[in-house]
Amino acid sequence: MADTVQEFVFNLTFPFTRTLGSTLSTFSSALAQGQIIGVRTGGRVIAPPLEYDPDTAADTGTDWVRVGPKGTVSTWTWVPEPTNLHPLDHAFGFAFITLDGADTPMIHLVDAGSESAMSAGMRVEAKFKAPGDCVGRIDDIIAFVPAADPSLSEGAGEPFEAPEENDITEMDAYCDLTYVDNASPTTTMWAKALMEGRLIGQKCPQCARTIVGPRGMCSVCAIELDESHVIEVADRGVVSNFTIVTPVQYHGQTETEPFVRCSIMLEGADAVIAQQEILDIPASEVRVGMHVECVWAPESERSVEDIDNRSRGSGGDAILGWRLTGEPDEPAELYLDRMM
Amino acid sequence: MSHQPVAVVGIGQTHHKRKRADVSIAGLVREAAQRALEDANMDWGDIDAVVLGKAPDLFEGVMKPEMYLADALGAVNKPMFRVHTAGSVGGSTGIVGSHLVSSGRHKRVLSVAFEKQSEGNAQFALGGGKGASIGAGGAFAPFIRAYIRRSGAPEDIGWMVAVKDRLNGAKNPYAHLKLADITIDKVKESPMMWDPLHFLESCPSSDGACAIVFTDEDGGKKASKPPAWVLATAMKSEPGWYSGRDAVNPQAAHACSQEIYNTVGITNPREQIDCAELYVPFSWYEPMWLEAHDIAAPGEGWKMTQSGATALGGDFPVNMSGGVLSSNPIGASGLLRFAEAALQVRGLAEDHQVGGAKLAIAQAYGANAQFFAMWAVGSSLNPLG
Amino acid sequence: MAPTENDIAIVGFAQTAPDRRTQLTEADLVLHATRAVMADIGLDKSEIGFTVSGSCDYLSGQAFSFVQNTDAYGMVPAINESHVEMDGAWALYEAFVRLLQGDIDVAMAVGVGKNSNSDPSTLYTIEFDPYYLTPLGTDTWSLAAMQARALLESGKATERDFAEVVVRNRANAKSNPYAQVSGDFSIDELLAADYVRNPLRLHDLPPTTDQAAAIILARGKRAYDLCDRPAWITGIDHRIEAHLPTVRKDITTSVSTRLAAEGAGAGKAPIEVAEVHAPFGFQELIVAESLGLDASTEINPSGGALASHAVMVAGIIRIGEAANQITKNGKNRTLAHATSGPCLQQNLVCVMEGDQ
């Protein structure tokens, strides 16, 4: 088998902005001021408040109740090695904490110092960030800590009067996930051929269709294709279709100028390679029927690091693009239907 | 088919907007569901099962949000189901919901579909979180170019669809885009996105939700407002890529509509169907789907647009609601098509009503124009007589 | 038995060998599982009237990742096909409902998950309440651990009981050719291990697995063309609870499992074998009690989710394993359970019977 399998690390990161709606805005605005609230619904106080009553599906309404800042732990666990998504970078506990004045617990961190300090029934107290740092998100509470004074919170259970308008109506939610995929045997074959300056396809023994940018299976016949089905294909052909993309600027976008992606019908094979770039001519001059040939990166500069299992015919950094050969165009009508 | 009749007795949708800043994710979904329940003269407790559909969770950054939405949709202690079939998902959400009733499993089912894509970025999500995403339009532009060449259609057909659908949207109180002063020139002069598609020929990015309440035959007959009867449903898929695939006129599209027509007994779709809600996110898909679903002969779809046949006052109105070109909360768009078709045969489409509509079809498609979901709804169980 | 046209049976089941880290793609896994089940019962793809898969975009890290997986079906000519963002067990439910439409008589349900691409301690944080739990990086192990401690505090179980579940499942897994984790362990040696999330130890957590599984369902008499002794689904039901475990009345019992079991008619007659999907070993105790099982039922002869656990697949595998007990092992009445969501939020129960 392959010596080492290529792995791809992909960081899926994005700054999401969530709008809160009325109930959560009320909670968040109060939280930013250091006050935790719950809502009385169906005979119990749920804190932090939910918008809809789990038992009846009714709107939970606006019967706000002050709760906490102290509460009682009912169940708990200990996190000896926090992940990068946990708010604390030292060992801490998670717990169900029923705040004074509430009937249902909430989940939050307990920064107890050690696992042995955690217990069902322990009294804890919310520790807030500095007022200037509070944004109304649940982690305005850095964590709960063992309560120095276990007595009931002052004012817990009393009504909370919501302001006419809430200050805080949105919440930032940063997604930060890491994936590690590995190159399948088929991707590995494709990438290896690219490094050698060759294009390969796989030909189905049943329907005789060839796919370039092989996938290890025929999507028509549902049969497995492997190295025995590999065929060499020419690195020259005719543009059969293209699209000119005017890039939209989004977080993570890498393009700023209009760019072209085209499909090329490869010479001598009934196969199309997709998602290719055309070099040296402006996007507006790309035409169906143009003869093109592959421009390989110099051998020492070739890289297939970006070729993953979804590359679908992409040449990565082994192919710089395709350039005109100078031959006269083929009639577009013969090719226009072959975008695949 | 040996299944029982299903009726649509409640329809609800949100006011679709670029950003629904006034609600949480649950609030958005709830708004549509609440309207559907009110339309059905029901309450949460009347519903036996909930089906939720939406497009990739990368759009909102919440994985499997149906888990968090169980409370908001009154699903606690009930069956809750989550469908995801790419762009056609709204359609499949409707179909799966209807099957839960037609199979006899449940009497009253709520289907809900939504997208709150303003919380993230749709193009980012479509590109899987990477740069140089070509966007959905980038994937379809080559198919569109091939259609134009094959059919010999004049260049203004796409612009005409864009204008028609937005003018329709202006009559729909829920539509995101209500561009009552849109003109051919404005479309033509708007920036090019993916040649030949201009900005104004492309769908918006919307936050929105849609909900439908299904009941059995008994419930349909007793409903306080006229029901829409689900006459046929079909879902067909083909591979997104294979050598020689015709992605312009996909075989799965024909197979899907053919199954609908066979079930209902439609032999002349152009004449027998009163109106259609088709998933047209980019203008040229109107003539393309008319042909792919055998409503127009090959190469003739654009003539229906050109002649005004597909306008609200024409003989085969398409996208009376303003369609996907006016509102596109991606996960909900398919269900909106299904719901709008049902509204038509119930006679409840108000300013965008097609007079006397008795038989309507709806279609949603997804991924590389490879997944198709369709249904036919009628004002009675036998609208063709 | 003379089945009616509304009787639906499982006639075939195949799973890929579980792999801690496969080099294959999800599409490859689906191809292997579907070809295996078709070959097993002599079915051609053209005979399948409906195909539905269960998988999760976020597990693979790519929007629409299930679309690539459909390459494995050979959808030329076009087929009736669907997908759920749920474990394959729910895909099977959709297939079951689809068969009841009466126009087709064979369906295929698939579950697939390449779990090794992601880290479960961070990935599932985004499945939970986006406002109250995700911002704290609340992870699935911590939630399960709090449910486990609640069970201890209730007095219904001890840490020894937790370890006993693991010992039994791992020992059972030895006879399962599709087990990733198996072996003989003693309760004491397990209890000597450090906590990963007090009171859960590494062995209490589910393994990470890359796998796919496929099940063929047939309606009415057609079942006998494909299987001598079909596993007739006499009841199938699923229910969901409130999302936050903190607003549920009691997380030491599973209300949705009980309701689903009732809906599936589990209690109508004795269950000989139950395949319970308990990703965290101690959850088997909660589920077994909520299913109303007694000591006469053999639980998890396959080794359960502790033997292999590909999220999106472990549930449908429980159904396949319970079906195999009928089709291949002569049992008469078995039950399969599948779960999803934090602290057993959503549960599916499938009851199967063989011809007497």
For the residues of A154-184, what is the DSSP string, one character each? Answer: TTTTSB----SS-S--EEEEEEEEEEEEE--
Residues of A in contact with B59 (CB under 8 A): none
Distance, in Å, from the CA atom of A44 to the CA atom of A48, rounded to the nearest integer, reads 12
Distance, in Å, from the CA atom of C245 to the CA atom of B274, rounded to the nearest integer, reads 50
Separation in Å, CA C287 to CA B160, B377, C274, C339, C353: 60, 43, 11, 10, 21
- Test C150 with A96 for CB contact under 8 angstroms: yes
Instruction: Give the A window 89-118 contacts with C, CB below 8 Å.
Output: 94-96, 104-109, 115, 118
Residue B314 CB coordination number (10 Å): 16
Other chains touching C, judged by 3 or more CB pairs under 8 Å: A, B
Quick one: pLDDT band at residue B137, thresholds 50, 70, 90? confident
Closest partner residue to C246 among A107, A179, A309, by Cβ?
Answer: A107
Question: Quick one: closest CA in B to C345, which residue?
Answer: B67
Other chains touching A, judged by 3 or more CB pairs under 8 Å: B, C
Q: Does B129 touch chain A (CB under 8 A)?
A: yes
What are the pLDDT digits (tens) for C245-275? 999 999 999 999 999 999 999 999 999 999 9
- Test B24 with A21 for CB contact under 8 angstroms: yes
More confident residue, B138 or A169: A169
What average pLDDT does chain B have?
Answer: 95
Whether C120-207+232-353 and C8-119+208-230 are alike in CATH topology: the answer is yes
Q: What is the 3-state secondary structure (H, E, C) of C276-332?
A: CCCCCCCHHHHHHHHHCCCCCCEECCCCHHHCCCCCCCHHHHHHHHHHHHHHCCCCC
Q: What are the extents of the domains in chain A?
A: 7-176, 184-334
What average pLDDT does chain A have?
Answer: 93
- Test B100 with C241 for CB contact under 8 angstroms: no
What are the pLDDT digits (tens) for A84-97? 999 999 999 999 99
**Sheet hosting strand A199-203, strand order edge to edge:** A210-212, A199-203, A230-233
Q: Does C122 touch chain B (CB under 8 A)?
A: no
Size of interface A-C (CB pairs under 8 A): 171
Residues of B in contact with C30 (CB under 8 A): none
Given the structure tokens 């999106």, which residue do they identify? C312
- Test A252 with B129 for CB contact under 8 angstroms: yes
What are the pLDDT digits (tens) for A288-321? 999 999 999 999 999 998 888 887 788 889 999 9
Distance, in Å, from the CA atom of A282 to the CA atom of A260, rounded to the nearest integer, reads 9
pLDDT at B55: 86
- Test C345 with B71 for CB contact under 8 angstroms: no
pLDDT exceeds cutoff 60 at B1: no
Instruction: Give the C window 178-207 contacts with A, CB below 8 Å.
Output: 195-200
Across A55-66, average pLDDT? 97
Q: Does B133 touch chain A (CB under 8 A)?
A: yes
- Test A115 with C132 for CB contact under 8 angstroms: no
- Test C197 with A310 for CB contact under 8 angstroms: no
Answering whether pTM is above 0.90, one says: yes
Quick one: pLDDT band at residue C356, thresholds 50, 70, 90? confident
More confident residue, B132 or B29: B29
Distance, in Å, from the CA atom of B109 to the CA atom of B46, rounded to the nearest integer, reads 9
Torsion of the alpha carbons at C220, C225, C227 and C228, rounded to the nearest 10: 100
Smallest CA–CA distance, residue A290 to chain C, in Å, is 31
Backbone angles phi, psi at C102, to 5 degrees: 90, -5
More confident residue, B167 or B2: B167
What are the pLDDT digits (tens) for C269-313? 999 999 999 999 999 999 999 999 999 999 999 999 999 999 999
C-beta separation of A266 from A313 below 8 A = no
What are the pLDDT digits (tens) for B225-250? 999 999 999 999 999 999 999 999 99
Residues of B in contact with A20 (CB under 8 A): 24
Residue C183 CB coordination number (10 Å): 10
Q: What are the extents of the domains in chain C?
A: 8-119+208-230, 120-207+232-353
Smallest CA–CA distance, residue A259 to chain C, in Å, is 23
Instruction: Give the B window 16-45 contacts with A, CB below 8 Å.
Output: 19-27, 30, 44-45
pLDDT at A2: 46
Bridge-based pairing of strands C50-54 and C106-114 is parallel
Q: Which residues neighbour A109 within 8 Å (Cβ) at sequence distance 6 or greater?
A: A86, A87, A88, A92, A93, A94, A95, A142, A143, A144, C136
Write down the H helix ranges in A72-219.
185-195
- Structural domains for chain B: 6-121+205-222 (3.40.47.10)
Closest partner residue to C67 among B63, B236, B367, by Cβ?
Answer: B367
Distance, in Å, from the CA atom of C139 to the CA atom of C59, rounded to the nearest integer, reads 15
Q: Does C123 touch chain A (CB under 8 A)?
A: yes
Q: Does C219 touch chain B (CB under 8 A)?
A: no
- Test B96 with C97 for CB contact under 8 angstroms: yes
What are the pLDDT digits (tens) for C75-98? 999 999 999 999 999 999 999 999
Distance, in Å, from the CA atom of B272 to the CA atom of B357, rounded to the nearest integer, reads 11
pLDDT at A251: 63
Across A218-228, average pLDDT? 97
Does CATH place domain C8-119+208-230 in 3.40.47.10?
Answer: yes
What are the pLDDT digits (tens) for A269-280? 889 998 899 999
Residues of A in contact with C75 (CB under 8 A): 219
Residue B90 DSSP one-character state: H
pLDDT at A1: 42
Q: Does C119 touch chain B (CB under 8 A)?
A: no
Residues of A in contact with C136 (CB under 8 A): 86-87, 94, 107-109, 138-139
Smallest CA–CA distance, residue A143 to chain C, in Å, is 10
Distance, in Å, from the CA atom of C315 to the CA atom of C206, rounded to the nearest integer, reads 13
Residue A257 CB coordination number (10 Å): 8
Q: Does A10 touch chain C (CB under 8 A)?
A: yes
Instruction: Provide the residue type at C221 as one letter.
Output: K
Q: Which of B43-47, B55-59, B261-265, C128-132 has the lowest mean pLDDT?
A: B55-59
Smallest CA–CA distance, residue C240 to chain B, in Å, is 5
C-beta separation of B359 from B384 below 8 A = yes
Report how many helices (DSSP H) and strands (DSSP E) chain B contains, helices first.
14, 11
Smallest CA–CA distance, residue A91 to chain B, in Å, is 27
Distance, in Å, from the CA atom of B85 to the CA atom of B372, rounded to the nearest integer, reads 9
Domain C120-207+232-353 in CATH: superfamily?
A: Thiolase/Chalcone synthase (3.40.47.10)
